[in-house]
Structure 1
Amino acid sequence: MEESSKLALDRIDRNMLRALQKDGRIANADLAKLVNVSAATCHRRTQRLMEEGFITAVRAQVSPVSVGLGALVMVGVVLDRSTPESFAAFEAAVGAMKEVLDCNLVAGDFDYLLKIRVRDMAGFNLLHGRQLITLPGVRQIRTFFVLKEVKDNAPLSF
């Protein structure tokens, strides 16, 4: 998103975005009342925010434990080469892995940082042995088991 797009947000847009981050299921009429505009205006603004890419998705946040995915693992990955081709091959392979929630190219000790959800340590051990170490171009993997999620998926502050 361009810097000029950020300037297109007025106070009402920002208040709408903040409210939608807290509750994506809020009824249009309730959102309109909250930001002090008509329901029709609120609907038009919400549609514009979606069309312009300010809102990228609306979805339910599922409790990982409730669906048997209680173990959160952060994995630092170092590739053997830093080329566009090796990055692309790694990213394509990771993109196909359902266990990987996030994959970020980072600066520092690792090339990539992965956020992975599995059932338990045994589940991670299988994933590690069958998929992670066979990913294209992987030279080194460092694994960090999350003991406690202190803050997760916090709303953006703007």
Structure 2
Amino acid sequence: MFGLDRIDLKILRVLQNDGRLSNAELAESVNVSAATCHRRTQRLIEQKFIKSVQAHIQPNAVNLGSMVMVGVVIDRSTPESFENFELAIKKLSIVLSCYLVAGEYDYLLKIRVKDIADFNKLHSDKLLALPEVRQLRTYFVMKEVVDNAPLPF
């Protein structure tokens, strides 16, 4: 798989499940020496197989317990319209993810807010003011069944 051997794949799988492991713990779990493990992990980072290592924060602990998915329809399907929207959406820190999609919407947004009132303010103050937006459709997530699952390789 893309120049990765079985040890590289093991390192990636283990780190996907627990990025806090020390190099010694990681080396033991993939059955290589600490030096070999460190060298391989650094190579995986340098070659961009590992995008980043970050903590997954419990949303309720930081008062962002409501997840909202928003479907966005752009007014005109031109490269300039898409570029204008994308430049503006990248400036909104409350948007966790933004995907250009095929289908009913042009973009899907994943947003975390405190509650419905918080989203209502965001909707009227920020989302409706985004350039090139013709229509927004909002879906409040009732239950997160799977979120940030490891990649299945």
TM category (shorter chain) comes to: over 0.9
Structure 1 residue 87 displacement after superposition: 0.7
User: Which of 130, 143, 150 in structure 2 is aligned with 1:155?
Assistant: 150
What CA deviation, in whole Å up to 9, does each residue of 1:37-68 have, x standing for no partner? 11000000000000001001001110010000
* Paired amino acid for 1:94: I
Give the aligned partner of residue 127 of structure 1: 122
Distance 1:41 1:59 in 2: 23
SS in 1 for 2:70: strand
TM-score by length of structure 2 reads 0.98
SS in 2 for 1:73: strand
The structure 1 segments of at least 4 consecutive aligned residues displaced by more than 4 Å after TM superposition are none
SS in 2 for 1:74: strand
TM-score by length of structure 1 reads 0.95
Question: Are positions 1:138 and 2:139 aligned together?
Answer: no
Question: Are positions 1:44 and 2:63 aligned together?
Answer: no
Give the aligned partner of residue 84 of structure 1: 79
Structure 1 residue 84 displacement after superposition: 1.2
Give the aligned partner of residue 20 of structure 2: 25
Give the aligned partner of residue 57 of structure 2: 62
Give the aligned partner of residue 95 of structure 1: 90
Structure 1 residue 7 displacement after superposition: 2.6
> Superposition RMSD on alpha carbons, in Å?
0.6
Distance 1:100 1:63 in 2: 16
* Paired amino acid for 1:113: L
Distance 1:64 1:34 in 2: 30
Paired-residue identity, %: 63
Structure 1 residue 36 displacement after superposition: 1.1
SS in 2 for 1:134: coil
In the alignment, structure 1 segments of 5+ residues that lack a partner are: 1-5
Structure 1 residue 104 displacement after superposition: 0.2
